Amino acid sequence: MTDLQMSLIGAAGVFVAGVFAYNKWQEHKAKKSVERAFASEHDDVLLRPGDIVRSEPTLDINPAPVAAAAPVPVPAAATSAPAASPAPAAAHAEDAPLAPGVPVAPVVAPVELITPAAEQATSLVDPLIDVLIPLALEAPVRGDKILPILHTLRHVGNKPVHFIGLHVNGDWEPIVHGGVYTKLQAGVQMASRTTALNELEYSELVTRLRAVADDIGAEPEIPDMIEVMGESRTLHRFVAGHDAQLGVNLMSYGAPWSIATLIGALEKQGFDVRPDGRYIMPDGDGGQLFTLTTNVTLGADTTSRLTLLLDVPCVAPARNGFGAMLDCARALVGRLDAVIVDDSDQPLTDQALNEINSQVLDFYQEMDAADIPAGSTRAMRLFS
């Protein structure tokens, strides 16, 4: 082995020994640092006497004031005037000291009432029986300016079309002269006694409504025809299934009645004899309870049969239309020497009449369940 090789081996040994010594020194420094960090002379804040943190919950006997309750929501078509300011005493109630254990009652905003105009607007454009078509206005418009244009679109087929407007005071109302409106809404009735709104009528409505909207500076938001047709047919099925009319017949025991003599008897009974030959029993509020027909053509001299007819969905249960009609029939029996019979001229017994009355009560419950109460504005529109 040469001297050079021996020198290289010695140098390598010295280098290895140096690296080993350096690593040992670093290990010693790290160990000392750890010992200092966990030395016993450092206080443990979790174990010092008198500084123990308690986890038991405490009860605050003075509850914080309860936040004011949110106002009761009202329909969009019935936005009313701002609520009145609360009384001064209530306004500073949160500053008063609270008695321990006494709950704080929430401050409830006053219930806002629907104005007569808003209620009338809802009856004209009714979300249950009408297709609703919003009309966005470019700028507020006056009722005087747009009414003549809106009056050009009153019907499609036999379905009525109505318009309401959002007044600058915040109320939806029927559009009137002198009003200023920021939004409009059109409504077309989806069904009547005879038919449902069909595709041709709806297409006509859309075409004519777009022309009206252009004239008044508005943009209509047209609902999808397929959805509208489905809702219209569903509503018409309900109307057709509840289009009930009840008749009670009076048949003469003897000779036919003279029409001239009959008119006097009917007037004494309370009937309103119309020029067109109709006989109406008024309900006292401008409407009718039931009607009577003589079963003969206008101009006939005599009849031997009368029919009293109740339009069931158009008379409110509270008016007891069927009971009133029976009372009238029984009174006419005495006046005219008649008998109450069915359509086959068979006498109607009290038991049969009671069964019919029970069916009428069930009918009213079905109408109420559908949110179309008999005699209501909604029912009168559908069954007119």
Instruction: Answer whether residue 43 is part of any domain.
Output: no
Q: How many CB atoms lie within 10 A of CB 25?
A: 9
What pairs with residue 186 in β-bridges?
A: 133, 163
Enter the pTM of the model: 0.67
- Examine the domain organization and report whether 152 and 165 are in the same domain: yes
- Examine the domain organization and report whether 235 and 266 are in the same domain: no
Per-residue confidence (pLDDT) for residue 278, from 0 to 100: 87
Q: Identify the CATH number of the domain in which residue 254 sits.
A: 3.30.1400.10
What pairs with residue 137 in β-bridges?
A: 218
- Looking at 219, 240, 261, the residue that finishes a domain is 240
- Examine the domain organization and report whether 217 and 252 are in the same domain: no
Per-residue confidence (pLDDT) for residue 100, from 0 to 100: 45
Which residues, other chains included, contact 383 with Cβ-Cβ below 8 Å and sequence gap of 6+? 193, 239, 243, 311, 313, 314
Burial of 139 (0-12, 13-18, 19+ CB in 10 A): exposed
- Examine the domain organization and report whether 364 and 252 are in the same domain: yes
Contact 131, 224 (CB under 8 A): no
- Examine the domain organization and report whether 170 and 190 are in the same domain: yes
Angstrom distance (rounded) from CA 115 to CA 170 = 11
Tens digits of pLDDT across the chain (384 residues): 566 556 656 656 655 555 555 555 555 554 444 344 434 443 333 333 343 333 333 333 333 333 333 333 333 333 333 334 334 433 444 444 434 444 444 444 444 456 788 888 999 999 999 999 999 999 999 999 999 999 999 999 999 999 999 999 999 999 999 999 999 999 999 999 999 999 999 999 999 999 999 999 999 999 999 999 999 999 999 999 999 999 999 999 889 999 988 999 999 999 998 877 789 999 999 889 999 999 998 889 999 999 999 999 999 999 999 999 999 999 999 889 999 999 899 999 999 999 999 999 999 999 999 999 999 999 999 998
Burial of 174 (0-12, 13-18, 19+ CB in 10 A): middle
Per-residue confidence (pLDDT) for residue 166, from 0 to 100: 96
Total structural domains within the chain? 2
DSSP 76-89: GGG--PPPPPPPHH
Q: How many CB atoms lie within 10 A of CB 272?
A: 13
Instruction: Extract the tokens encoding 177.
Output: 């002269």
- Looking at 213, 240, 267, the residue that finishes a domain is 240
- Examine the domain organization and report whether 127 and 253 are in the same domain: no
- Examine the domain organization and report whether 156 and 206 are in the same domain: yes
Q: Identify the CATH number of the domain in which residue 152 sits.
A: 3.30.1400
CA neighbours within 13 Å on the CB side: how many for 44?
7
Instruction: Answer whether residue 9 is part of any domain.
Output: no
What pairs with residue 173 in β-bridges?
A: 165
- Examine the domain organization and report whether 201 and 164 are in the same domain: yes
- Examine the domain organization and report whether 139 and 227 are in the same domain: yes
Dihedral class, residue 345 (left if φ above 0, else alpha if ψ from -120 to 50, else beta): left
Contact 8, 16 (CB under 8 A): no
Range of the domain at 193: 116-240
What pairs with residue 220 in β-bridges?
A: 135
Angstrom distance (rounded) from CA 250 to CA 273 = 18
Instruction: Answer whether residue 6 is part of any domain.
Output: no
Per-residue confidence (pLDDT) for residue 114, from 0 to 100: 67
Angstrom distance (rounded) from CA 149 to CA 214 = 10
Of residues 228, 193, 181, the one with CA closest to residue 313: 193
Per-residue confidence (pLDDT) for residue 307, from 0 to 100: 96
Angstrom distance (rounded) from CA 223 to CA 206 = 10
DSSP 37-61: HT-TTS--TTTSTT-PPP------S
- Examine the domain organization and report whether 280 and 213 are in the same domain: no
Instruction: Answer whether residue 39 is part of any domain.
Output: no
Instruction: Answer whether residue 1 is part of any domain.
Output: no
- Examine the domain organization and report whether 303 and 236 are in the same domain: no
Of residues 191, 175, 184, the one with CA closest to residue 139: 184
- Looking at 172, 206, 240, the residue that finishes a domain is 240
Per-residue confidence (pLDDT) for residue 271, from 0 to 100: 96
Which residues, other chains included, contact 128 with Cβ-Cβ below 8 Å and sequence gap of 6+? 371, 372, 378
Instruction: Extract the tokens encoding 8.
Output: 């290289």
- Examine the domain organization and report whether 170 and 236 are in the same domain: yes
What pairs with residue 208 in β-bridges?
A: none
Instruction: Answer whether residue 20 is part of any domain.
Output: no
Of residues 249, 246, 383, 356, the one with CA closest to residue 309: 246
Instruction: Answer whether residue 101 is part of any domain.
Output: no
Of residues 106, 85, 82, the one with CA closest to residue 94: 106
